[in-house]
Protein backbone atom coordinates (compact mmCIF):
# COMPACT_ATOMS: atom_id res chain seq x y z
CA UNK A 1 0.00 0.00 0.00
CA UNK A 2 1.35 3.41 -0.89
CA UNK A 3 1.85 6.09 1.74
CA UNK A 4 0.35 8.56 -0.72
CA UNK A 5 -2.88 6.68 -1.37
CA UNK A 6 -4.15 4.49 1.47
CA UNK A 7 -7.51 2.86 0.71
CA UNK A 8 -8.65 2.93 4.32
CA UNK A 9 -8.79 6.25 6.14
CA UNK A 10 -8.11 7.14 9.74
CA UNK A 11 -11.84 6.93 10.53
CA UNK A 12 -11.71 3.18 9.88
CA UNK A 13 -9.02 2.73 12.52
CA UNK A 14 -10.82 4.96 14.98
CA UNK A 15 -13.83 2.68 14.51
CA UNK A 16 -11.59 -0.33 15.16
CA UNK A 17 -10.41 1.33 18.39
CA UNK A 18 -14.05 1.85 19.39
CA UNK A 19 -14.67 -1.88 18.80
CA UNK A 20 -11.72 -2.66 21.05
CA UNK A 21 -13.04 -0.37 23.78
CA UNK A 22 -16.60 -1.77 23.54
CA UNK A 23 -15.97 -4.14 26.45
CA UNK A 24 -14.59 -1.29 28.58
CA UNK A 25 -10.97 -2.40 28.16
CA UNK A 26 -8.66 -2.20 25.16
CA UNK A 27 -6.06 -4.93 25.64
CA UNK A 28 -2.49 -3.93 24.64
CA UNK A 29 -2.54 -6.67 21.97
CA UNK A 30 -5.74 -5.20 20.54
CA UNK A 31 -4.22 -1.70 20.50
CA UNK A 32 -1.06 -3.01 18.81
CA UNK A 33 -3.15 -4.79 16.19
CA UNK A 34 -5.08 -1.62 15.33
CA UNK A 35 -1.98 0.55 15.08
CA UNK A 36 -0.10 -2.12 13.09
CA UNK A 37 -2.96 -2.38 10.61
CA UNK A 38 -2.97 1.42 10.16
CA UNK A 39 0.78 1.42 9.60
CA UNK A 40 0.47 -1.46 7.11
CA UNK A 41 -2.20 0.54 5.30
CA UNK A 42 0.29 3.37 4.84
CA UNK A 43 -1.44 6.12 6.78
CA UNK A 44 0.55 9.30 7.46
CA UNK A 45 2.29 9.79 10.80
CA UNK A 46 -0.25 12.33 12.12
CA UNK A 47 -3.09 9.86 11.52
CA UNK A 48 -1.09 7.07 13.22
CA UNK A 49 -0.59 9.34 16.25
CA UNK A 50 -4.33 10.07 16.38
CA UNK A 51 -5.08 6.34 16.22
CA UNK A 52 -2.54 5.62 18.97
CA UNK A 53 -4.30 8.22 21.13
CA UNK A 54 -7.66 6.51 20.43
CA UNK A 55 -6.17 3.24 21.66
CA UNK A 56 -5.05 4.80 24.94
CA UNK A 57 -8.47 5.99 26.17
CA UNK A 58 -12.06 4.95 25.42
CA UNK A 59 -13.75 6.47 22.40
CA UNK A 60 -17.23 6.16 20.95
CA UNK A 61 -17.96 4.45 17.66
CA UNK A 62 -17.43 6.76 14.75
CA UNK A 63 -20.86 7.96 13.62
CA UNK A 64 -20.03 7.73 9.94
CA UNK A 65 -17.31 6.13 7.92
CA UNK A 66 -16.18 7.53 4.62
CA UNK A 67 -16.79 4.54 2.38
CA UNK A 68 -16.37 6.52 -0.85
CA UNK A 69 -12.92 5.07 -1.60
CA UNK A 70 -13.66 1.64 -0.13
CA UNK A 71 -14.41 -1.36 -2.30
CA UNK A 72 -16.52 -4.26 -1.07
CA UNK A 73 -13.23 -6.09 -0.42
CA UNK A 74 -12.02 -3.18 1.73
CA UNK A 75 -15.25 -3.12 3.73
CA UNK A 76 -15.09 -6.89 4.32
CA UNK A 77 -11.43 -6.57 5.35
CA UNK A 78 -12.26 -3.84 7.88
CA UNK A 79 -15.08 -5.94 9.32
CA UNK A 80 -12.82 -9.03 9.52
CA UNK A 81 -10.09 -7.08 11.31
CA UNK A 82 -12.68 -5.70 13.75
CA UNK A 83 -13.97 -9.22 14.37
CA UNK A 84 -10.44 -10.42 15.08
CA UNK A 85 -9.69 -7.43 17.37
CA UNK A 86 -12.88 -8.13 19.34
CA UNK A 87 -11.66 -11.70 19.98
CA UNK A 88 -8.02 -10.96 20.81
CA UNK A 89 -8.49 -10.94 24.58
CA UNK A 90 -10.06 -14.40 24.46
CA UNK A 91 -13.67 -13.33 24.95
CA UNK A 92 -16.31 -11.42 23.04
CA UNK A 93 -18.75 -9.38 25.11
CA UNK A 94 -22.25 -8.21 24.29
CA UNK A 95 -20.85 -4.69 23.95
CA UNK A 96 -18.29 -5.86 21.39
CA UNK A 97 -20.93 -7.79 19.45
CA UNK A 98 -23.16 -4.69 19.41
CA UNK A 99 -20.23 -2.55 18.24
CA UNK A 100 -19.43 -5.09 15.48
CA UNK A 101 -23.06 -5.01 14.41
CA UNK A 102 -23.00 -1.22 14.27
CA UNK A 103 -19.76 -1.28 12.26
CA UNK A 104 -21.30 -3.78 9.83
CA UNK A 105 -24.25 -1.42 9.37
CA UNK A 106 -21.96 1.58 8.84
CA UNK A 107 -20.01 -0.44 6.27
CA UNK A 108 -23.31 -1.44 4.58
CA UNK A 109 -22.52 -5.15 4.88
CA UNK A 110 -25.41 -7.62 4.99
CA UNK A 111 -25.39 -10.42 7.59
CA UNK A 112 -24.17 -13.21 5.27
CA UNK A 113 -21.01 -11.37 4.09
CA UNK A 114 -20.31 -10.41 7.73
CA UNK A 115 -20.47 -14.07 8.70
CA UNK A 116 -18.08 -14.97 5.87
CA UNK A 117 -15.63 -12.22 6.88
CA UNK A 118 -15.81 -13.40 10.49
CA UNK A 119 -15.12 -16.99 9.44
CA UNK A 120 -12.10 -15.90 7.36
CA UNK A 121 -10.75 -13.89 10.32
CA UNK A 122 -11.06 -17.02 12.49
CA UNK A 123 -9.40 -19.13 9.80
CA UNK A 124 -6.36 -16.84 9.65
CA UNK A 125 -6.23 -16.60 13.46
CA UNK A 126 -6.13 -20.40 13.69
CA UNK A 127 -2.83 -20.53 11.80
CA UNK A 128 0.21 -21.21 14.03
CA UNK A 129 0.56 -18.18 16.35
CA UNK A 130 -2.00 -16.42 14.13
CA UNK A 131 -3.98 -15.15 17.07
CA UNK A 132 -1.17 -12.85 18.22
CA UNK A 133 -0.94 -9.36 16.72
CA UNK A 134 2.65 -9.62 15.54
CA UNK A 135 1.99 -12.98 13.89
CA UNK A 136 -1.49 -12.39 12.49
CA UNK A 137 -1.19 -12.34 8.72
CA UNK A 138 -3.11 -9.22 7.69
CA UNK A 139 -1.91 -9.51 4.08
CA UNK A 140 -3.20 -13.07 3.94
CA UNK A 141 -6.51 -11.99 5.46
CA UNK A 142 -6.95 -9.39 2.71
CA UNK A 143 -5.83 -11.90 0.04
CA UNK A 144 -8.23 -14.63 1.19
CA UNK A 145 -11.11 -12.14 1.29
CA UNK A 146 -10.26 -11.02 -2.26
CA UNK A 147 -10.03 -14.61 -3.52
CA UNK A 148 -13.32 -15.67 -1.95
CA UNK A 149 -15.09 -12.54 -3.14
CA UNK A 150 -13.90 -13.16 -6.71
CA UNK A 151 -15.00 -16.79 -6.50
CA UNK A 152 -18.46 -15.78 -5.25
CA UNK A 153 -18.78 -13.24 -8.07
CA UNK A 154 -17.70 -15.87 -10.61
CA UNK A 155 -20.28 -18.35 -9.31
CA UNK A 156 -23.02 -15.70 -9.39
CA UNK A 157 -22.19 -14.81 -13.00
CA UNK A 158 -22.23 -18.49 -14.04
CA UNK A 159 -25.66 -18.96 -12.49
CA UNK A 160 -27.26 -16.09 -14.39
pLDDT tens track for 90-144? 788 898 899 899 899 989 999 999 999 999 998 988 877 655 555 677 788 889 9
pLDDT given for residue 35 in this prediction? 92
Q: How many domains does the chain have?
A: 1
Q: Is residue 86 part of a domain?
A: yes
Please state, in angstroms and rounded to a whole number, the distance separating the CA atoms of residues 146 and 142. Answer: 6
Q: Are 107 and 101 in contact (CB under 8 A)?
A: no
* pLDDT at residue 29 is higher than 60: yes
Q: Is residue 5 part of a domain?
A: no
Q: Is residue 1 part of a domain?
A: no
Q: Is residue 57 part of a domain?
A: yes
Q: How far is CA 15 from CA 68, 116, 129, in A?
A: 16, 20, 25
46-84 tens-digit pLDDT: 999 999 999 998 877 665 677 878 889 999 998 998 898
pTM score of the predicted model:
0.80
* Range of the structural domain that residue 112 is part of: 10-158
Amino acid sequence: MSDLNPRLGRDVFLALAAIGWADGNLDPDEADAIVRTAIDEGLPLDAIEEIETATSKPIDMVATLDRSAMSKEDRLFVYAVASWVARLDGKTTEGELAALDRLGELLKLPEKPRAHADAIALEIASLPDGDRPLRYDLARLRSVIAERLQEAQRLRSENR
